Structure 1
Amino acid sequence: MNSPGGYIYLLYGEDSFGRDEAVQQLKDRMRALPAGEHNLTELAGADATLNALRLSADAVPFLAARRMVIVRGLLSRLAGRGGARRTSRAPRKSDAAAPDESQALLDYLADVPGTTSIAFVEDGRLSPEPMVAAIARGRAFVKEFPPVRDVAAWIRARAKLLEIDVDEGAVRELASLGNTDLRRLDSELKKLSAFAADRTITRNDVRELVIGRDVAVWSLLDGLAERRTDKALRAVRALYAQGESPEALLGRDIAPHMRRLLVARELAVASREERAATDVAALGLNPATLAKWMDQSEAFEPAELERALEILLDLDRQIKTGETTSEPALEVAIVQLCSRLSSVG
């Protein structure tokens, strides 16, 4: 992806980690150019419309030779309204009556200014052929990021890329965790590397550093989801004993977990059409485990989960400003999270 400018990128697939790394590389290269930061636009969610894309892409670069627009989820939205279809969905009768914005997009791709690069970022499978045919010769760059099936092979390749020395026993131990969250595995590799210093990472390192913590964290999060105060408090105290800080648990584990539960709860009460049009991965959930998240979220009302996030945000502020002692304050928050939050003031 060493584009001198003017490329149309299509980055899609279910491997959100690999896909997002590719996007980050494009952003880093753009920012490395003179005035690059001022010529980088990102569109996502409600902002990812064809009109917004055209306005951004047609703009003249500011004090630079080129600009880049990154747009997330636009193709998926158009696919649901009669445009270029996802391979997993047959067209609906209502599609034919909708304005054919997909054709308008294809028409525009042939006229994108040569000073502008566009990166279309999509979750899931797509048929890229119509877009490739519409883009001027030599300007298309298409890359699919399929789901990782062989986790052990991914760990080996990732360790090699990061120049981390890990033995086969450690690879198998990490792979046996059954964790297909590549971001988490990447983070664990980096923590293991720091833990092992200059020596090779072994199976025992994984068991000591990863598995013990992993079990305790999941026990904590399950306790919160099940509203079992005793289980959650036992787990958080075990994590304290392992050297985990309340700040890290709050920011890395508890708050993201409650946020995902809120997203899952909102999806659970949404219509089938709204769920189909939602980029689940962009909201921080693995589409493959969405059903499990939705089941867990049924223990809460949306308002309770919103209140939970308010409690955690306030706790984070109090810890950072020194208004409270972090360990007991987090335990108090856990008790609140396991209660009926609508009654928490």
Structure 2
Amino acid sequence: MGSVLTNFLFLAPDEFLLGKRLSQLKQAIGDLEMASLNIAELDGARSDASDILYHAGALPFLADRRLIIVREYFSNLESRLGTAKSPNRAAQDEARQILEALADPGLSNDLVFIDDKLDKRRAIWRGLDGLAGLDRLSKDGLLVIEELGTPNPRALPAWIANTARQDGIDIAGQAVQMLATYVGADLRRLTLELDKLRSYAAGRSITPDDVQRLVSDTSDALIWDLTDAIGQRDGRKAMRALYALRRNDASPFYLLTMITRQYRIMIKVKDETSRGPGNEYDIAGRVGESPFPVKKAMAQSRNYGLPQLEGILDRLLSSDFAMKTGADPNTEIDILVAELTQSR
């Protein structure tokens, strides 16, 4: 890293983006065989300012600098500071110690703090007793603050396009949109899919047809996760699947449409299997659906009798009517999932 002081604060990091960023910093130390000897990783919940500064003051081994990585230190310190009416003096002394150290351009090694969330109204951010807080340290060039959060659904296509551009991958705009829809905000998988598509395209621009041919649509799989959980009467698992779909920007009307589709397939499969046995390929041909959803429906429909499935379909239709006549769509979906996962 040379002789230039570089301290970092990575906020709300996405696991993939954080791993990539830390890899860059570790590689910058120099010889990979020596890197592990010059990297210390600390748990911020178990480390105080003295521990951190002890490691920050240690001499590097056959390198210019050491790298000290501290996870969830500031968020833990922030929670210990107390309030203006009942301050925690020991925590305030510790905050002064770490802020003074970060303000010292003579600090001999590089510090990387990783925190999920910090309150920008608190003293750690704004400053304490005349000492510069994290915000001022950043503005003074003594701390680099980087937001490494997962891109939201609207920003995801731009992230894909930028990543492709940086890696020299030519991809059509429609293909970018399709990739974002199919994969969602799983950045590691998106990167792997881009690399796979580049190999397949072999120098030409990646097209929507390429994405459709090579990339599976995770939104469909997530819907089956939701209906799996509903079939198992597992409310917690169902809500996790529901929130995963919402993180992929799935609208309530889309969710209701897809849940209804899955139950319609289950009814068709349940009815057809009662007429005669067969594997998913046989049944798929008889009901006019693809083998993958039919295989899922064959497993899920065992949790229901045909009258139950028809009753659920009626409940889905009443949710559709409620959402179209003034009920809050998200609340209606939440109530629907809660009702469907009740044991009966």
Supply the RMSD in Å over aligned alpha carbons: 4.1
1:160 Cα deviation from its structure 2 partner? 0.6
Could you list the per-position Cα deviations for residues 171-205 of structure 1 after superposition, in whole angstroms to 9, with x for gaps in the alignment? Answer: 12123348223333223222322333333221122
Task: State the one-letter code of the partner of 2:161.
Answer: R
Equivalent residue, structure 2, for 1:209: 214
Residue 66, structure 1, aligned to residue 65, structure 2:
yes
For residues 106 and 27 of structure 1, do their structure 2 counterparts lie closer, same or farther at Cα, with a shift above 3 Å needed? same
Could you list the per-position Cα deviations for residues 97-149 of structure 1 after superposition, in whole angstroms to 9, with x for gaps in the alignment? Answer: 66322222113324585431111122235545513646996543333345534
TM-score, length of structure 2 as denominator length = 0.54
How many residues of Structure 1 are paired with residues of Structure 2 in the alignment?
A: 231
Alpha-carbon distance between aligned partners in 1 of 2:19 and 2:118, rounded to the nearest angstrom? 15
Does structure 1 retain, via aligned residues, the 8 Å contact 2:42–2:71? Answer: yes
Alpha-carbon distance between aligned partners in 2 of 1:95 and 1:227, rounded to the nearest angstrom? 51
Match of 2:194 among 189, 193, 208: 189
For residues 3 and 194 of structure 1, do their structure 2 counterparts lie closer, same or farther at Cα, with a shift above 3 Å needed? same
Equivalent residue, structure 2, for 1:252: none
Could you list the per-position Cα deviations for residues 7-57 of structure 1 after superposition, in whole angstroms to 9, with x for gaps in the alignment? Answer: 222222455543443222111212447833311111235444433312211
Equivalent residue, structure 1, for 2:171: 166
Equivalent residue, structure 2, for 1:78: 77
Greater Cα shift, 154-163 or 30-39: 30-39
Equivalent residue, structure 1, for 2:314: none
For residues 45 and 82 of structure 1, do their structure 2 counterparts lie closer, same or farther at Cα, with a shift above 3 Å needed? closer
Task: State the one-letter code of the partner of 2:36.
Answer: E
For residues 82 and 46 of structure 1, do their structure 2 counterparts lie closer, same or farther at Cα, with a shift above 3 Å needed? closer
Residue 55, structure 1, aligned to residue 60, structure 2:
no
Alpha-carbon distance between aligned partners in 1 of 2:176 and 2:137, rounded to the nearest angstrom? 44
| Larger-Rg structure | 2
The SS at the match of 1:118 is strand
Give the unaligned 5+ runs of structure 2.
Answer: 127-132, 248-298, 300-344
Equivalent residue, structure 2, for 1:99: 91
Equivalent residue, structure 1, for 2:147: 144
Alpha-carbon distance between aligned partners in 1 of 2:210 and 2:14, rounded to the nearest angstrom? 27
The SS at the match of 2:177 is helix
Does structure 2 retain, via aligned residues, the 8 Å contact 1:5–1:116? Answer: no
1:3 Cα deviation from its structure 2 partner? 5.7
Alpha-carbon distance between aligned partners in 1 of 2:57 and 2:88, rounded to the nearest angstrom? 29
For residues 181 and 34 of structure 1, do their structure 2 counterparts lie closer, same or farther at Cα, with a shift above 3 Å needed? closer
Residue 175, structure 1, aligned to residue 180, structure 2:
yes
Equivalent residue, structure 2, for 1:332: none
For residues 223 and 115 of structure 1, do their structure 2 counterparts lie closer, same or farther at Cα, with a shift above 3 Å needed? same
User: Moved runs in structure 1, 4+ residues, more than 6 A?
Assistant: none
1:74 Cα deviation from its structure 2 partner? 0.5
Match of 1:122 among 115, 131, 136: 115
Alpha-carbon distance between aligned partners in 1 of 2:145 and 2:30, rounded to the nearest angstrom? 22
Does structure 2 retain, via aligned residues, the 8 Å contact 1:109–1:135? Answer: no
Alpha-carbon distance between aligned partners in 1 of 2:174 and 2:87, rounded to the nearest angstrom? 52
For residues 104 and 70 of structure 1, do their structure 2 counterparts lie closer, same or farther at Cα, with a shift above 3 Å needed? same
Match of 1:154 among 159, 162, 170: 159
Alpha-carbon distance between aligned partners in 2 of 1:218 and 1:210, rounded to the nearest angstrom? 15
